[in-house]
Structure 1
């Protein structure tokens, strides 16, 4: 696994570097991060999608604490659908990931008080290089006709599902162009059902998990009947 998890990448993209506040609805981001942890496990060859449920195919730890906790939880539980898992995992996940990023010096925790007693936390960036690398990979994927690697394709697909174009600093026609490219990446990877998984640029096992999780997020946000 890489040094920055997919769920962390989504969170960093979604938070304003200076204000340290989320720039998108909390429920959308929480569902997306939960899905990202599951995608991370699929990329690591730990879980797969079969018969409508996510199942553990390799219980060996990945070395990433949050992912390993989820892996152990899936292994110990009865089978559940992707929709069920994103709902089960989203609660408290944001605080855990923010805490890890603070501990590694990627963002800072600024605790402010409003009305004399309400604590409000902001998380401005402390190490801009981490997010810069994420944005560079996405920018290359958006401007290159070549298919990106599995991990970047999965990230681009989650960005598309969550409609995070504004978090990329894009608006108007630029945002529409980016969305078309993001959807093309998802389609080319076999994540959106437009391409046979046998012809996709990612492993079929990964395509199945990401496609199922994308549908789960759409359903949770009311985008798909």
Structure 2
């Protein structure tokens, strides 16, 4: 089964048994970035000079991506400067829900609804089919821990995880120091094509910008 980068990040962030999300705030930025990078890899959008534009509105036939492609096209149409950071800021609160719905529809996670303290509605997404996540974690281990050569999508995934500081959800049983340098090397390396590398760089820069702004606002 082929899954999107956003779905892969979301699977990594969910506790398999409880279905609770870990590092929710950081994962939300990475999920939004994953959708954007998949659209760039599919040739539907271009990310350059920290700006975003639609280059081909043709549907990809992946509902999660096509919904965002329509939104990006409408959003950027009347903007002189459609910055990547502005789109990620806009979409990071919405992309996780759309991604979870996609995982449920694919049968990879189950949706459980309950009320905390009998009052507050809570949704959890425990694992329903672990085969995709097992393959994913095996692929990440092969590249990061055992020196394998990543393809474009794996390079993008590792770059997004590294940029959002999600080392712990990717490698929960491995000390961060052991994986951080290798993930940075991959994110900054020459494995991906020029267009993908530029998209990764711009999205990493955007995530750093919005993270700093978010933390400053919280501190204020």
* Same fold? TM cut 0.5: yes
SS of match in other structure, 2:25: helix
- What is the deviation of 1:59? 1.7
- What is the deviation of 1:51? 4.4
- 2:160 is aligned, of 158, 161, 169, to 158
* 1:15-94 equivalences in 2 (<5 Å): 15-24=14-23, 26-76=24-74, 77=77, 78=79, 79-94=81-96
- What is the deviation of 1:169? 4.0
- Conserved 8 A contact 1:15-1:22: yes
Please report the TM-score for the alignment, with normalisation by the length of structure 1.
0.87
- Aligned partner of 1:14 in structure 2 is 13
Distance in 2, Cα, partners of 1:100 & 1:171: 28
RMSD of aligned residue pairs (Cα, Å): 2.0
Aligned length: 211
Distance in 2, Cα, partners of 1:68 & 1:53: 20
Distance in 2, Cα, partners of 1:103 & 1:71: 20
Please report the TM-score for the alignment, with normalisation by the length of structure 2.
0.88
SS of match in other structure, 1:222: helix
Distance in 1, Cα, partners of 2:70 & 2:118: 42
- Aligned partner of 1:127 in structure 2 is 129
Distance in 1, Cα, partners of 2:47 & 2:97: 27
Q: Which has the higher contact order (CA 8 A, sep 6+)?
A: 2
* 1:129-148 equivalences in 2 (<5 Å): 129-148=131-150
- Aligned partner of 2:176 in structure 1 is 175
- Aligned partner of 1:209 in structure 2 is 199
SS of match in other structure, 2:52: strand
Structure 1 segments unaligned to the other structure (5+ residues): 189-199
- What is the deviation of 1:96? 1.6
- Conserved 8 A contact 2:32-2:92: yes
Listed one character per residue, the Cα deviations across residues 64-90 of structure 1 (whole Å, up to 9, x for unaligned) are 112112222222323411101101212
- What is the deviation of 1:171? 5.6
Distance in 1, Cα, partners of 2:88 & 2:170: 24
* Alpha-carbon spacing, 1:170–1:97, altered in 2? closer, same or farther (3 Å): closer
Distance in 1, Cα, partners of 2:147 & 2:137: 17
